[in-house]
A and B are shown apart, each in its own frame.
Chain A
Protein backbone atom coordinates (compact mmCIF):
# COMPACT_ATOMS: atom_id res chain seq x y z
CA UNK A 1 0.00 0.00 0.00
CA UNK A 2 1.26 3.45 -0.94
CA UNK A 3 0.51 6.14 1.62
CA UNK A 4 0.56 9.81 0.73
CA UNK A 5 0.67 12.37 3.49
CA UNK A 6 -1.08 15.40 2.03
CA UNK A 7 -1.91 17.01 5.37
CA UNK A 8 -1.82 20.78 5.17
CA UNK A 9 -1.98 20.71 1.38
CA UNK A 10 -4.81 22.10 -0.70
CA UNK A 11 -5.91 21.00 -4.13
CA UNK A 12 -4.56 20.55 -6.71
CA UNK A 13 -1.51 19.24 -4.83
CA UNK A 14 -3.18 16.21 -3.15
CA UNK A 15 -4.82 15.10 -6.42
CA UNK A 16 -1.61 15.60 -8.41
CA UNK A 17 0.41 13.52 -5.95
CA UNK A 18 -2.26 10.82 -5.80
CA UNK A 19 -2.57 10.61 -9.56
CA UNK A 20 1.19 10.20 -9.86
CA UNK A 21 1.10 7.43 -7.25
CA UNK A 22 -1.73 5.66 -9.07
CA UNK A 23 0.14 5.87 -12.35
CA UNK A 24 3.29 4.66 -10.62
CA UNK A 25 1.54 1.43 -9.62
CA UNK A 26 1.51 0.29 -13.22
CA UNK A 27 -0.66 -2.53 -14.47
CA UNK A 28 -0.60 -4.76 -11.44
CA UNK A 29 -2.38 -2.15 -9.37
CA UNK A 30 -2.43 -1.79 -5.62
CA UNK A 31 -3.86 0.52 -3.03
CA UNK A 32 -3.16 4.19 -2.51
CA UNK A 33 -4.07 5.72 0.83
CA UNK A 34 -4.09 9.50 1.05
CA UNK A 35 -4.21 11.51 4.25
CA UNK A 36 -5.84 14.92 3.88
CA UNK A 37 -7.21 17.43 6.36
CA UNK A 38 -9.97 19.09 4.38
CA UNK A 39 -13.17 17.64 3.00
CA UNK A 40 -12.83 19.43 -0.34
CA UNK A 41 -9.62 17.48 -0.99
CA UNK A 42 -11.45 14.28 -0.02
CA UNK A 43 -14.22 15.12 -2.50
CA UNK A 44 -11.72 15.87 -5.27
CA UNK A 45 -9.86 12.60 -4.65
CA UNK A 46 -13.06 10.59 -4.82
CA UNK A 47 -14.19 12.56 -7.89
CA UNK A 48 -10.93 11.66 -9.59
CA UNK A 49 -11.17 8.02 -8.50
CA UNK A 50 -14.70 7.61 -9.84
CA UNK A 51 -13.71 9.40 -13.06
CA UNK A 52 -10.87 6.91 -13.47
CA UNK A 53 -13.24 4.02 -12.77
CA UNK A 54 -11.58 3.19 -9.45
CA UNK A 55 -13.20 2.24 -6.18
CA UNK A 56 -12.57 4.55 -3.27
CA UNK A 57 -13.66 4.97 0.29
CA UNK A 58 -12.72 7.19 3.20
CA UNK A 59 -12.54 7.12 6.95
CA UNK A 60 -12.65 10.06 9.29
CA UNK A 61 -9.75 9.88 11.74
CA UNK A 62 -8.73 11.93 14.74
CA UNK A 63 -7.83 15.62 14.57
CA UNK A 64 -9.74 16.23 11.36
CA UNK A 65 -7.59 13.82 9.37
CA UNK A 66 -9.40 12.01 6.57
CA UNK A 67 -7.94 8.87 5.00
CA UNK A 68 -9.02 8.24 1.43
CA UNK A 69 -8.30 4.76 0.10
CA UNK A 70 -8.25 4.18 -3.65
CA UNK A 71 -8.10 0.65 -5.03
CA UNK A 72 -6.22 0.32 -8.29
CA UNK A 73 -6.39 -2.97 -10.12
CA UNK A 74 -8.61 -5.55 -11.69
CA UNK A 75 -10.85 -8.23 -10.36
CA UNK A 76 -11.02 -7.48 -6.70
CA UNK A 77 -13.41 -4.60 -6.66
CA UNK A 78 -16.75 -6.39 -6.69
CA UNK A 79 -15.41 -9.26 -4.62
CA UNK A 80 -14.60 -6.87 -1.80
CA UNK A 81 -18.15 -5.77 -1.42
CA UNK A 82 -19.44 -9.33 -1.32
CA UNK A 83 -16.89 -10.54 1.19
CA UNK A 84 -17.52 -7.69 3.52
CA UNK A 85 -20.91 -9.26 4.10
CA UNK A 86 -20.45 -12.98 3.82
CA UNK A 87 -16.91 -14.32 4.10
CA UNK A 88 -17.37 -17.65 5.84
CA UNK A 89 -14.46 -20.02 5.74
CA UNK A 90 -11.43 -18.47 4.11
CA UNK A 91 -8.37 -20.53 3.26
CA UNK A 92 -5.16 -18.69 2.56
CA UNK A 93 -2.46 -20.66 0.75
CA UNK A 94 0.90 -18.90 0.66
CA UNK A 95 3.09 -21.82 -0.52
CA UNK A 96 3.07 -24.74 -2.90
CA UNK A 97 3.79 -27.41 -0.29
CA UNK A 98 2.09 -28.42 2.96
CA UNK A 99 3.92 -28.72 6.27
CA UNK A 100 7.65 -28.96 7.03
CA UNK A 101 9.89 -31.73 5.72
CA UNK A 102 10.13 -33.33 2.33
CA UNK A 103 9.21 -30.96 -0.46
CA UNK A 104 7.97 -33.79 -2.61
CA UNK A 105 5.72 -35.03 0.17
CA UNK A 106 4.60 -31.45 0.81
CA UNK A 107 3.35 -31.11 -2.76
CA UNK A 108 1.42 -34.37 -2.55
CA UNK A 109 -0.13 -33.32 0.76
CA UNK A 110 -1.23 -29.95 -0.59
CA UNK A 111 -2.85 -31.54 -3.64
CA UNK A 112 -4.64 -33.93 -1.33
CA UNK A 113 -5.67 -31.06 0.94
CA UNK A 114 -7.24 -29.16 -1.93
CA UNK A 115 -8.96 -32.30 -3.17
CA UNK A 116 -10.40 -32.84 0.31
CA UNK A 117 -11.67 -29.26 0.46
CA UNK A 118 -14.10 -30.22 -2.30
CA UNK A 119 -15.84 -32.51 0.14
CA UNK A 120 -16.47 -29.83 2.77
CA UNK A 121 -20.03 -28.70 3.36
CA UNK A 122 -20.53 -25.84 3.21
CA UNK A 123 -17.59 -25.22 0.90
CA UNK A 124 -15.07 -22.51 1.69
CA UNK A 125 -16.25 -19.09 0.55
CA UNK A 126 -12.77 -17.98 -0.48
CA UNK A 127 -9.47 -19.50 -1.46
CA UNK A 128 -6.59 -17.04 -1.51
CA UNK A 129 -3.30 -17.87 -3.22
CA UNK A 130 -0.10 -15.93 -2.82
CA UNK A 131 3.66 -16.28 -3.09
CA UNK A 132 4.48 -19.79 -4.41
CA UNK A 133 0.85 -20.69 -3.71
CA UNK A 134 0.08 -18.74 -6.85
CA UNK A 135 1.49 -21.68 -8.85
CA UNK A 136 -1.57 -23.72 -7.86
CA UNK A 137 -4.07 -21.65 -9.84
CA UNK A 138 -1.94 -21.56 -12.99
CA UNK A 139 -3.00 -23.53 -16.03
CA UNK A 140 -0.41 -26.27 -15.49
CA UNK A 141 -1.25 -26.85 -11.83
CA UNK A 142 -2.18 -30.42 -10.94
CA UNK A 143 -4.91 -29.10 -8.61
CA UNK A 144 -6.65 -27.22 -11.39
CA UNK A 145 -9.55 -29.67 -11.73
CA UNK A 146 -10.32 -29.54 -8.01
CA UNK A 147 -10.15 -25.76 -7.90
CA UNK A 148 -12.40 -25.40 -10.95
CA UNK A 149 -14.93 -27.71 -9.35
CA UNK A 150 -14.96 -25.54 -6.22
CA UNK A 151 -15.26 -22.38 -8.30
CA UNK A 152 -18.30 -23.92 -9.97
CA UNK A 153 -19.82 -24.46 -6.52
CA UNK A 154 -19.43 -20.75 -5.76
CA UNK A 155 -16.08 -20.59 -4.00
CA UNK A 156 -14.28 -17.37 -4.87
CA UNK A 157 -10.71 -18.13 -5.92
CA UNK A 158 -8.27 -15.24 -5.93
CA UNK A 159 -4.60 -15.11 -6.69
CA UNK A 160 -2.21 -12.32 -5.81
CA UNK A 161 -1.34 -10.36 -8.96
CA UNK A 162 2.06 -9.25 -7.71
CA UNK A 163 2.92 -12.92 -7.18
CA UNK A 164 1.84 -14.11 -10.64
CA UNK A 165 3.90 -11.26 -12.09
CA UNK A 166 6.88 -12.24 -9.99
CA UNK A 167 6.76 -15.84 -11.14
CA UNK A 168 5.99 -14.80 -14.72
CA UNK A 169 2.72 -16.76 -14.82
CA UNK A 170 0.24 -13.86 -15.11
CA UNK A 171 -0.93 -15.04 -18.52
CA UNK A 172 -1.34 -18.62 -17.33
CA UNK A 173 -4.07 -18.09 -14.72
CA UNK A 174 -6.18 -21.24 -14.94
CA UNK A 175 -8.96 -20.50 -12.47
CA UNK A 176 -10.48 -17.61 -10.53
CA UNK A 177 -9.34 -14.04 -10.59
CA UNK A 178 -6.37 -11.83 -9.89
CA UNK A 179 -6.53 -9.85 -6.64
CA UNK A 180 -4.36 -7.18 -5.07
CA UNK A 181 -3.23 -7.11 -1.47
CA UNK A 182 -6.02 -4.78 -0.44
CA UNK A 183 -8.55 -7.29 -1.73
CA UNK A 184 -6.78 -10.12 0.08
CA UNK A 185 -6.61 -8.21 3.33
CA UNK A 186 -10.27 -7.26 3.09
CA UNK A 187 -11.31 -10.86 2.62
CA UNK A 188 -9.14 -12.05 5.50
CA UNK A 189 -10.47 -9.33 7.76
CA UNK A 190 -14.05 -10.26 6.92
CA UNK A 191 -13.57 -14.01 7.42
CA UNK A 192 -15.55 -15.90 10.06
CA UNK A 193 -12.80 -18.51 10.11
CA UNK A 194 -9.41 -18.29 8.47
CA UNK A 195 -7.09 -21.21 7.78
CA UNK A 196 -3.53 -20.39 6.83
CA UNK A 197 -1.47 -22.98 4.98
Chain B
Protein backbone atom coordinates (compact mmCIF):
# COMPACT_ATOMS: atom_id res chain seq x y z
CA UNK B 1 0.00 0.00 0.00
CA UNK B 2 2.95 2.31 0.37
CA UNK B 3 4.37 3.30 -2.97
CA UNK B 4 6.54 6.17 -1.85
CA UNK B 5 6.51 8.23 -5.01
CA UNK B 6 2.79 8.12 -5.41
CA UNK B 7 2.26 9.59 -1.99
CA UNK B 8 4.18 12.68 -3.05
CA UNK B 9 2.21 13.10 -6.23
CA UNK B 10 -1.15 13.00 -4.61
CA UNK B 11 -0.39 14.95 -1.49
CA UNK B 12 -1.08 18.19 -3.29
CA UNK B 13 -4.37 16.92 -4.71
CA UNK B 14 -5.66 15.72 -1.44
CA UNK B 15 -5.23 19.09 0.17
CA UNK B 16 -6.85 20.79 -2.80
CA UNK B 17 -9.88 18.51 -2.78
CA UNK B 18 -12.71 19.83 -0.69
CA UNK B 19 -14.05 16.43 0.21
CA UNK B 20 -13.12 12.93 -0.86
CA UNK B 21 -14.70 9.57 -1.50
CA UNK B 22 -18.38 9.00 -1.01
CA UNK B 23 -18.46 11.94 1.37
CA UNK B 24 -18.45 13.98 -1.85
CA UNK B 25 -21.84 12.62 -2.90
CA UNK B 26 -24.60 15.14 -3.46
CA UNK B 27 -26.93 14.88 -0.45
CA UNK B 28 -29.83 12.44 -0.86
CA UNK B 29 -32.41 15.13 -0.15
CA UNK B 30 -30.90 17.54 -2.67
CA UNK B 31 -30.57 14.83 -5.29
CA UNK B 32 -34.16 13.66 -5.08
CA UNK B 33 -35.40 17.23 -5.70
CA UNK B 34 -33.72 17.21 -9.10
CA UNK B 35 -34.43 13.61 -10.03
CA UNK B 36 -38.14 13.92 -9.34
CA UNK B 37 -38.38 16.46 -12.16
CA UNK B 38 -37.03 14.05 -14.78
CA UNK B 39 -39.44 12.12 -17.02
CA UNK B 40 -40.08 8.50 -16.06
CA UNK B 41 -38.87 6.06 -18.68
CA UNK B 42 -41.13 3.07 -19.16
CA UNK B 43 -39.78 -0.05 -20.75
CA UNK B 44 -40.87 -3.54 -19.73
CA UNK B 45 -37.27 -4.73 -19.94
CA UNK B 46 -36.07 -2.17 -17.44
CA UNK B 47 -36.53 -4.21 -14.26
CA UNK B 48 -34.81 -1.72 -11.98
CA UNK B 49 -34.49 1.94 -12.98
CA UNK B 50 -33.37 5.04 -11.18
CA UNK B 51 -36.87 5.78 -9.92
CA UNK B 52 -36.32 2.92 -7.48
CA UNK B 53 -33.15 4.56 -6.04
CA UNK B 54 -31.54 1.14 -6.18
CA UNK B 55 -27.83 0.40 -6.36
CA UNK B 56 -27.68 -0.30 -10.09
CA UNK B 57 -29.95 -0.53 -13.12
CA UNK B 58 -31.14 -3.95 -14.29
CA UNK B 59 -32.24 -4.54 -17.89
CA UNK B 60 -33.67 -7.85 -18.97
CA UNK B 61 -32.15 -9.39 -22.12
CA UNK B 62 -33.81 -12.78 -22.11
CA UNK B 63 -35.86 -14.99 -19.83
CA UNK B 64 -32.89 -15.97 -17.69
CA UNK B 65 -30.43 -13.13 -18.28
CA UNK B 66 -30.44 -9.50 -17.31
CA UNK B 67 -27.59 -7.02 -17.41
CA UNK B 68 -26.81 -4.88 -14.42
CA UNK B 69 -25.20 -1.51 -15.06
CA UNK B 70 -23.70 1.05 -12.71
CA UNK B 71 -21.25 3.94 -12.62
CA UNK B 72 -19.34 5.47 -9.72
CA UNK B 73 -16.49 7.95 -9.44
CA UNK B 74 -15.11 10.36 -6.88
CA UNK B 75 -12.18 12.50 -5.77
CA UNK B 76 -9.28 10.96 -3.82
CA UNK B 77 -9.73 10.35 -0.12
CA UNK B 78 -6.26 8.88 0.35
CA UNK B 79 -2.79 10.04 -0.61
CA UNK B 80 -1.52 6.90 -2.28
CA UNK B 81 -2.76 6.81 -5.90
CA UNK B 82 -2.74 3.04 -6.24
CA UNK B 83 -4.78 2.67 -3.06
CA UNK B 84 -7.20 5.27 -4.37
CA UNK B 85 -7.53 3.30 -7.61
CA UNK B 86 -8.29 0.10 -5.72
CA UNK B 87 -10.87 1.78 -3.51
CA UNK B 88 -12.62 3.46 -6.45
CA UNK B 89 -12.84 0.14 -8.29
CA UNK B 90 -14.03 -1.81 -5.24
CA UNK B 91 -16.65 0.87 -4.73
CA UNK B 92 -17.85 0.82 -8.35
CA UNK B 93 -18.00 -2.98 -8.46
CA UNK B 94 -19.95 -3.04 -5.20
CA UNK B 95 -23.20 -1.94 -6.81
CA UNK B 96 -23.17 -4.99 -9.07
CA UNK B 97 -22.66 -7.29 -6.08
CA UNK B 98 -25.38 -5.47 -4.16
CA UNK B 99 -27.90 -6.34 -6.89
CA UNK B 100 -26.90 -10.00 -6.74
CA UNK B 101 -24.98 -9.78 -10.01
CA UNK B 102 -21.55 -10.78 -11.27
CA UNK B 103 -19.38 -8.16 -13.00
CA UNK B 104 -18.44 -8.79 -16.63
CA UNK B 105 -16.55 -5.75 -17.86
CA UNK B 106 -15.76 -2.16 -16.96
CA UNK B 107 -14.79 1.21 -18.44
CA UNK B 108 -12.52 3.69 -16.71
CA UNK B 109 -13.66 7.26 -16.02
CA UNK B 110 -10.78 9.66 -15.44
CA UNK B 111 -10.52 13.36 -14.63
CA UNK B 112 -6.95 14.50 -14.18
CA UNK B 113 -5.12 17.82 -13.79
CA UNK B 114 -2.99 18.78 -16.76
CA UNK B 115 -0.15 19.96 -14.50
CA UNK B 116 0.20 16.70 -12.55
CA UNK B 117 2.64 13.88 -13.17
CA UNK B 118 1.13 11.18 -15.35
CA UNK B 119 2.87 8.53 -13.30
CA UNK B 120 0.37 8.97 -10.47
CA UNK B 121 -2.47 8.51 -12.93
CA UNK B 122 -0.83 5.28 -14.06
CA UNK B 123 -0.82 4.15 -10.44
CA UNK B 124 -4.50 4.97 -10.02
CA UNK B 125 -5.42 2.98 -13.11
CA UNK B 126 -3.18 0.09 -12.06
CA UNK B 127 -4.96 -0.02 -8.70
CA UNK B 128 -8.31 -0.14 -10.46
CA UNK B 129 -7.13 -2.87 -12.82
CA UNK B 130 -5.94 -4.97 -9.86
CA UNK B 131 -9.42 -5.00 -8.41
CA UNK B 132 -11.04 -5.82 -11.76
CA UNK B 133 -8.74 -8.82 -12.05
CA UNK B 134 -9.67 -9.90 -8.55
CA UNK B 135 -13.34 -9.53 -9.46
CA UNK B 136 -12.87 -11.61 -12.60
CA UNK B 137 -14.04 -8.72 -14.79
CA UNK B 138 -12.46 -7.31 -17.93
CA UNK B 139 -11.25 -3.75 -18.41
CA UNK B 140 -12.24 -2.76 -21.91
CA UNK B 141 -11.74 0.99 -22.29
CA UNK B 142 -12.56 4.31 -20.76
CA UNK B 143 -12.64 8.06 -21.10
CA UNK B 144 -10.38 10.74 -19.67
CA UNK B 145 -10.49 14.54 -19.50
CA UNK B 146 -8.45 17.31 -17.87
CA UNK B 147 -9.92 18.67 -14.69
CA UNK B 148 -8.68 20.74 -11.75
CA UNK B 149 -9.38 17.98 -9.24
CA UNK B 150 -8.51 14.37 -10.03
CA UNK B 151 -11.44 11.98 -10.10
CA UNK B 152 -11.56 8.32 -10.87
CA UNK B 153 -14.16 5.61 -11.11
CA UNK B 154 -15.65 3.01 -13.38
CA UNK B 155 -18.78 2.15 -15.28
CA UNK B 156 -19.34 -1.53 -14.58
CA UNK B 157 -21.57 -3.97 -16.38
CA UNK B 158 -22.54 -7.33 -14.95
CA UNK B 159 -25.19 -9.96 -15.35
CA UNK B 160 -27.69 -11.79 -13.19
CA UNK B 161 -30.72 -14.01 -13.31
CA UNK B 162 -33.77 -11.71 -13.43
CA UNK B 163 -35.58 -14.08 -11.04
CA UNK B 164 -32.90 -13.44 -8.43
CA UNK B 165 -32.49 -9.70 -8.28
CA UNK B 166 -31.57 -8.41 -4.83
CA UNK B 167 -33.61 -5.21 -4.70
CA UNK B 168 -32.90 -2.77 -1.93
CA UNK B 169 -36.45 -2.13 -0.72
CA UNK B 170 -38.13 -5.54 -0.57
CA UNK B 171 -37.46 -6.86 2.94
CA UNK B 172 -40.20 -8.78 4.72
CA UNK B 173 -41.36 -8.53 8.32
CA UNK B 174 -39.54 -11.21 10.28
CA UNK B 175 -36.27 -10.76 8.37
CA UNK B 176 -32.96 -10.25 10.05
CA UNK B 177 -30.45 -7.68 8.81
CA UNK B 178 -26.79 -8.53 8.33
CA UNK B 179 -24.08 -5.90 7.82
CA UNK B 180 -20.89 -7.29 6.31
CA UNK B 181 -18.30 -4.56 6.98
CA UNK B 182 -17.70 -2.38 10.04
CA UNK B 183 -18.68 1.30 9.72
CA UNK B 184 -16.48 4.28 10.58
CA UNK B 185 -14.30 4.84 7.52
CA UNK B 186 -15.76 8.31 6.95
CA UNK B 187 -14.82 9.48 10.43
CA UNK B 188 -11.35 7.95 10.15
CA UNK B 189 -10.72 9.59 6.78
CA UNK B 190 -11.87 12.88 8.32
CA UNK B 191 -9.41 12.33 11.15
CA UNK B 192 -6.73 11.75 8.52
CA UNK B 193 -7.55 15.11 6.94
CA UNK B 194 -7.33 16.69 10.36
CA UNK B 195 -4.00 14.90 10.89
CA UNK B 196 -5.40 13.21 13.97
CA UNK B 197 -5.79 9.62 12.76
CA UNK B 198 -3.72 6.83 14.28
CA UNK B 199 -1.86 4.55 11.85
CA UNK B 200 -3.87 1.45 12.88
CA UNK B 201 -7.10 3.33 12.22
CA UNK B 202 -5.97 4.40 8.77
CA UNK B 203 -4.81 0.88 8.00
CA UNK B 204 -8.17 -0.60 9.07
CA UNK B 205 -10.12 1.93 7.00
CA UNK B 206 -7.97 1.48 3.88
CA UNK B 207 -8.17 -2.30 4.10
CA UNK B 208 -11.93 -2.18 4.50
CA UNK B 209 -12.46 0.23 1.58
CA UNK B 210 -10.33 -1.89 -0.76
CA UNK B 211 -12.14 -5.07 0.19
CA UNK B 212 -14.45 -6.33 -2.57
CA UNK B 213 -18.02 -7.11 -1.56
CA UNK B 214 -17.69 -10.07 -3.89
CA UNK B 215 -16.85 -12.53 -1.11
CA UNK B 216 -19.82 -11.72 1.12
CA UNK B 217 -22.14 -11.69 -1.90
CA UNK B 218 -20.92 -15.09 -3.11
CA UNK B 219 -21.74 -16.63 0.27
CA UNK B 220 -25.25 -15.24 0.10
CA UNK B 221 -26.05 -16.80 -3.26
CA UNK B 222 -26.74 -19.96 -1.25
CA UNK B 223 -29.41 -18.30 0.88
CA UNK B 224 -32.78 -16.67 0.22
CA UNK B 225 -32.14 -12.92 0.16
CA UNK B 226 -35.17 -10.64 0.40
CA UNK B 227 -33.26 -7.39 -0.02
CA UNK B 228 -29.72 -6.12 -0.28
CA UNK B 229 -27.94 -2.80 -0.67
CA UNK B 230 -24.45 -1.48 -0.13
CA UNK B 231 -23.64 1.25 2.37
CA UNK B 232 -22.42 4.46 0.72
CA UNK B 233 -21.80 8.07 1.59
CA UNK B 234 -25.43 8.38 2.67
CA UNK B 235 -24.61 6.27 5.73
CA UNK B 236 -26.16 3.16 7.26
CA UNK B 237 -29.37 4.81 8.48
CA UNK B 238 -30.27 6.27 5.08
CA UNK B 239 -29.84 2.86 3.48
CA UNK B 240 -31.85 1.19 6.23
CA UNK B 241 -34.59 3.73 5.62
CA UNK B 242 -34.51 3.08 1.89
CA UNK B 243 -34.73 -0.64 2.64
CA UNK B 244 -37.68 -0.19 4.99
CA UNK B 245 -39.60 1.54 2.21
CA UNK B 246 -43.23 2.34 3.05
CA UNK B 247 -44.35 -1.14 4.09
CA UNK B 248 -41.95 -2.04 6.87
CA UNK B 249 -39.99 -0.55 9.73
CA UNK B 250 -36.43 -1.50 10.51
CA UNK B 251 -35.20 -2.01 14.06
CA UNK B 252 -31.44 -1.67 14.42
CA UNK B 253 -29.46 -2.79 17.46
CA UNK B 254 -26.75 -0.18 18.18
CA UNK B 255 -25.11 -2.65 20.59
CA UNK B 256 -24.49 -5.07 17.73
CA UNK B 257 -23.15 -2.54 15.24
CA UNK B 258 -19.71 -3.50 13.91
CA UNK B 259 -17.46 -0.44 13.82
CA UNK B 260 -13.81 0.50 13.79
CA UNK B 261 -12.91 1.20 17.43
CA UNK B 262 -10.91 4.35 16.69
CA UNK B 263 -13.86 5.78 14.76
CA UNK B 264 -15.92 5.50 17.94
CA UNK B 265 -13.25 7.37 19.86
CA UNK B 266 -13.03 10.09 17.22
CA UNK B 267 -16.81 10.50 17.14
CA UNK B 268 -16.83 10.72 20.94
CA UNK B 269 -14.27 13.53 20.58
CA UNK B 270 -16.61 15.41 18.17
CA UNK B 271 -14.64 14.77 15.03
CA UNK B 272 -17.64 15.63 12.90
CA UNK B 273 -17.88 15.39 9.14
CA UNK B 274 -19.91 17.56 6.81
CA UNK B 275 -21.41 14.53 5.06
CA UNK B 276 -22.34 12.98 8.40
CA UNK B 277 -24.30 16.09 9.35
CA UNK B 278 -25.97 16.20 5.93
CA UNK B 279 -27.01 12.61 6.53
CA UNK B 280 -28.35 13.53 9.97
CA UNK B 281 -30.42 16.33 8.46
CA UNK B 282 -31.75 13.96 5.82
CA UNK B 283 -32.82 11.46 8.49
CA UNK B 284 -34.58 14.05 10.64
CA UNK B 285 -37.99 12.77 11.69
CA UNK B 286 -37.35 9.27 10.35
CA UNK B 287 -35.39 7.77 13.24
CA UNK B 288 -36.27 7.01 16.83
CA UNK B 289 -32.77 7.11 18.32
CA UNK B 290 -33.98 5.90 21.74
CA UNK B 291 -31.09 5.86 24.17
CA UNK B 292 -28.42 5.49 21.48
CA UNK B 293 -25.24 7.28 22.50
CA UNK B 294 -23.94 10.18 20.43
CA UNK B 295 -20.88 8.33 19.05
CA UNK B 296 -23.02 5.38 17.92
CA UNK B 297 -25.48 7.75 16.27
CA UNK B 298 -22.60 9.36 14.41
CA UNK B 299 -21.28 5.97 13.31
CA UNK B 300 -24.68 5.02 11.93
CA UNK B 301 -24.76 8.31 9.99
CA UNK B 302 -21.12 8.10 8.97
CA UNK B 303 -20.55 8.32 5.20
CA UNK B 304 -18.98 5.10 3.98
CA UNK B 305 -16.77 4.82 0.94
CA UNK B 306 -16.93 1.30 -0.48
CA UNK B 307 -19.00 0.24 2.51
CA UNK B 308 -20.33 -3.22 3.28
CA UNK B 309 -23.49 -4.96 2.14
CA UNK B 310 -26.71 -4.86 4.15
CA UNK B 311 -28.72 -8.06 3.69
CA UNK B 312 -32.29 -8.78 4.70
CA UNK B 313 -32.80 -12.53 5.10
CA UNK B 314 -35.55 -14.66 6.68
CA UNK B 315 -34.93 -15.11 10.38
CA UNK B 316 -34.75 -18.88 9.98
CA UNK B 317 -31.60 -18.42 7.90
CA UNK B 318 -30.12 -15.47 9.79
CA UNK B 319 -27.56 -17.23 11.98
CA UNK B 320 -26.54 -19.68 9.28
CA UNK B 321 -26.10 -16.90 6.73
CA UNK B 322 -24.09 -14.87 9.23
CA UNK B 323 -21.76 -17.81 9.87
CA UNK B 324 -21.24 -18.25 6.14
CA UNK B 325 -20.49 -14.55 5.63
CA UNK B 326 -18.16 -14.49 8.62
CA UNK B 327 -15.92 -17.02 6.88
CA UNK B 328 -15.13 -14.19 4.46
CA UNK B 329 -15.95 -11.15 6.60
CA UNK B 330 -15.28 -11.90 10.27
CA UNK B 331 -16.65 -8.55 11.42
CA UNK B 332 -20.10 -9.12 9.92
CA UNK B 333 -22.96 -8.96 12.43
CA UNK B 334 -26.72 -9.28 12.63
CA UNK B 335 -27.57 -5.65 13.33
CA UNK B 336 -31.34 -5.58 13.27
CA UNK B 337 -34.66 -6.94 12.15
CA UNK B 338 -37.60 -6.03 9.96
CA UNK B 339 -41.06 -5.40 11.43
CA UNK B 340 -44.44 -4.42 10.01
CA UNK B 341 -44.61 -0.69 9.59
CA UNK B 342 -44.71 1.53 12.70
CA UNK B 343 -44.84 5.32 12.72
CA UNK B 344 -41.18 5.72 11.89
CA UNK B 345 -39.15 3.71 9.38
CA UNK B 346 -36.18 3.29 11.74
CA UNK B 347 -36.10 2.44 15.42
CA UNK B 348 -32.86 2.00 17.35
CA UNK B 349 -33.01 -0.30 20.36
Residues of A near any B CB (own CB < 8 A): 10-13, 15-16, 19, 38, 40-41, 43-44, 47-48, 51-52
Within 8 A of A (CB), among B165-197: 190-191, 193-194, 196
How distant is B257 from chain A, measured CB to nearest CB, in Å?
Answer: 19
Tell which of A13, A43, A48 touches B194, judged by Cβ atoms closer than 8 Å: A13
Q: Is the CB of A51 within 8 A of B274?
A: no
Residues in B with CB closer than 8 Å to A43 are 277, 281
A16 to B269, CA, bound (A): 9
Residues in A with CB closer than 8 Å to B273 are 11-12, 44
A10 to B186, CA, bound (A): 14
Residues in A with CB closer than 8 Å to B18 are 10
Does B146 have its Cβ within 8 Å of any Cβ on chain A?
no
Closest 9 interchain pairs by CB?
Answer: A48-B270, A11-B274, A44-B272, A12-B190, A16-B194, A40-B274, A15-B272, A10-B274, A40-B277
Q: In the complex, how many residues of chain B place their beta carbon closer than 8 angstroms to a beta carbon of chain A?
A: 18
Does B94 have its Cβ within 8 Å of any Cβ on chain A?
no
A52 to B278, CA, bound (A): 21
Residues in B with CB closer than 8 Å to A47 are 270, 272, 277
How distant is B148 from chain A, measured CB to nearest CB, in Å?
Answer: 15
Residues in A with CB closer than 8 Å to B278 are 40
Question: Can you list 14 A-B pairs with a CB-CB distance of less than 8 A?
Answer: A10-B18, A11-B274, A12-B190, A12-B194, A12-B273, A40-B274, A40-B277, A40-B281, A41-B274, A43-B277, A43-B281, A44-B277, A51-B270, A51-B294
Q: Is the CB of B271 within 8 A of A15?
A: yes
Tell which of B19, B271, B281, B294 touches A16, judged by Cβ atoms closer than 8 Å: B271
How distant is A39 from chain B, measured CB to nearest CB, in Å?
Answer: 9
How distant is A118 from chain B, measured CB to nearest CB, in Å?
Answer: 46
Residue on B nearest A41 in the bound complex, by CB: B274
Residue on A nearest B196 in the bound complex, by CB: A16
Which of B191, B194, B294 has the largest count of A CB atoms less than 10 A from its CB? Answer: B194
Residue on B nearest A11 in the bound complex, by CB: B274
Q: Is the CB of B270 within 8 A of A10?
A: no
A16 to B271, CA, bound (A): 6
How distant is A105 from chain B, measured CB to nearest CB, in Å?
Answer: 53
How distant is B300 from chain A, measured CB to nearest CB, in Å?
Answer: 15
A40 to B278, CA, bound (A): 7
Tell which of A13, A38, A40, A52 touches B270, judged by Cβ atoms closer than 8 Å: A52
Given A10-B19, A43-B281, 6 other A-B contacts at CB below 8 A?
A: A11-B274, A16-B196, A40-B278, A41-B274, A44-B273, A52-B270
Residue on A nearest B195 in the bound complex, by CB: A16
Which of A11, A41, A48, A51 has the largest count of B CB atoms less than 10 A from its CB? Answer: A11
Q: Is the CB of A19 within 8 A of B274?
A: no
How distant is A70 from chain B, measured CB to nearest CB, in Å?
Answer: 12
How distant is B254 from chain A, measured CB to nearest CB, in Å?
Answer: 17
Tell which of B19, B270, B277, B281 touches A19, judged by Cβ atoms closer than 8 Å: B270
Residues in B with CB closer than 8 Å to A48 are 270, 272
Cβ contacts B1-44/A at 8 Å (1 or 0 each): 00000000000000000110000000000000000000000000
